[in-house]
C-alpha cells in the first residue's frame, strides 16, 4: 500500500512537471501533489536522462553541437518549457514591477515582455555554449546531474519560504505548504547518485555556484515578494542549472 502511494506521488510529480504520460490509475488531488514535491529531483533525473540519451544517440550521426541542440530540444519538449516559462515570467515581473502587487500581476500575464525574451534567449544560448564547451565524455553525466540538482535547488524554496499568491488558479498552489525534513532527505537521495559520475573538484565548484545562485534568488524573492511563486521555482531551476554547468567548466590558475 505504501509503495503504491509513493508511486502515485512520483507519477504525480511527472504529470505536473512534464508532458510525459503516466498510468491511468494515478489519481489527482492537491494533497497528493503537495507530497509529490519530494520527487521533484527524481523528475530531474528522468528529464536529464532523456537529454543524455538523445545526445548519445544523435552523436552517432551528427556533430556534438547538433547533438547538444537536439538534446536541449528533447528536454524542453518533455517539460513543455515549464521552467523556461517561469524564468521568463519572473524576469519580466522583477524587471518591470515596482512593488509586490505589480510584480505578481506582470508575472501572471500570459504575454512575454522584453525582459523575459532576453532572459530566455540568454538562458538557452548560455546552456548551449556551456554544454558545448564540456568534454563530450562528461556531458551525459553533467546533463543528468544538472537537471536533478537544479530541481533540488527549487525544492529548497518550497521547504524554506512562504508561498505568496492567494489566487486559487496559481499553478504552484498545491505545492505551497512546505516540505518536512524527511521529504527533503528523500529529495536529496535522488540527487546524490546523479553527482557520483563527475570529477570531485568540478562537482564541488558546480554545486557551490548553484547554491550561491539559489541563495541570491531566494533573497531577491524574499525582498520583493515576501516568498516564492511557481514562476520563481522555474527561474531557480533554470539559473541554478546554468550555474552548475559554469562550475563544471571553471578552470583555476595554478
Q: Binning pLDDT at 50, 70 and 90, where does residue 183 land? A: confident
Choose among 72, 81, 119, 83: nearest CA to 245.
72
pLDDT bucket at 168, cuts 50 / 70 / 90: very low
Cα–Cα dist 138/198, whole Å: 7
User: How much is the pLDDT for 2?
Assistant: 78
Residue 203, pLDDT above cutoff 70: yes
Task: Say if residues 155 and 41 touch (Cβ distance below 8 Å).
Answer: yes
Summarised one tens digit per residue, pLDDT across range 70-88 is 999 999 999 999 999 999 9
Mean pLDDT of 3-31: 84
The torsion region of residue 97 among left (phi > 0), alpha (psi -120 to 50) and beta comes to beta
DSSP state letters, 207-237: HHHHHHHHHHHHHHHHHHTSSB-HHHHHHHH
According to DSSP, the residues that pair with 163 across neighbouring strands are: 228
First to last CA, the chain: 56
Which tens digit of pLDDT belongs to each residue from 107-160? 998 888 999 999 999 999 999 999 999 999 999 999 999 999 999 999 999 888
pLDDT at 235 over 50: yes
pLDDT at residue 221 in the model: 97
Neighbour count for residue 162 (Cβ, 10 Å): 13
Q: Which of 203, 194, 211 is nearest to 248 (CA)?
A: 203
pLDDT per position as a tens digit, 20-40: 988 888 777 666 677 788 999
The model's pTM: 0.93
Residue-wise over 173-193: b if at least 16 C-beta within 10 A, else e?
Answer: bbbbeebeeebbebbeebbee
Contact predicate 195/149, CB 8 Å: yes
| Mean pLDDT taken over the chain | 91
Amino acid at each position: 500500500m505504501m509503495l503504491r502511494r509513493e508511486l502515485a506521488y512520483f507519477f504525480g510529480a511527472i504529470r505536473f512537471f512534464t508532458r510525459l504520460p503516466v498510468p491511468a490509475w494515478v489519481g489527482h488531488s492537491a494533497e497528493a501533489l503537495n507530497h509529490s514535491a519530494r520527487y521533484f529531483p527524481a523528475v530531474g533525473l528522468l528529464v536529464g536522462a532523456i537529454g543524455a540519451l538523445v545526445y548519445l544517440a544523435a552523436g552517432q550521426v551528427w556533430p556534438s553541437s547538433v547533438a547538444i541542440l537536439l538534446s536541449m530540444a528533447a528536454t524542453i519538449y518533455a517539460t513543455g518549457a515549464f521552467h523556461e516559462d517561469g524564468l521568463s515570467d519572473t524576469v519580466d515581473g522583477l524587471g518591470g514591477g515596482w512593488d509586490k502587487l505589480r510584480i505578481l500581476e506582470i508575472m501572471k500575464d500570459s504575454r512575454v515582455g522584453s525582459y523575459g525574451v532576453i532572459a530566455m534567449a540568454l538562458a538557452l544560448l548560455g546552456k548551449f555554449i556551456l554544454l558545448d564547451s564540456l568534454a563530450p565524455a562528461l556531458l551525459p553525466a553533467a546533463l543528468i546531474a544538472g537537471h536533478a540538482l537544479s530541481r533540488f535547488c527549487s525544492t529548497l524554496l518550497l521547504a524554506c519560504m512562504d508561498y505568496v499568491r492567494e489566487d486559487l488558479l496559481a499553478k504552484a498552489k498545491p505545492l505551497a505548504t512546505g516540505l518536512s525534513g524527511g521529504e527533503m532527505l528523500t529529495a536529496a537521495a535522488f540527487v546524490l547518485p546523479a553527482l557520483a559520475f563527475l570529477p570531485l573538484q568540478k562537482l564541488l565548484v558546480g554545486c557551490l555556484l548553484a547554491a550561491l545562485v539559489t541563495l541570491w534568488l531566494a533573497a531577491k524573492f524574499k525582498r520583493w515578494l515576501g516568498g516564492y511563486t511557481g514562476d520563481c521555482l522555474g527561474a531557480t531551476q533554470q539559473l541554478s542549472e546554468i550555474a552548475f554547468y559554469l562550475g563544471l567548466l571553471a578552470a583555476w590558475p595554478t
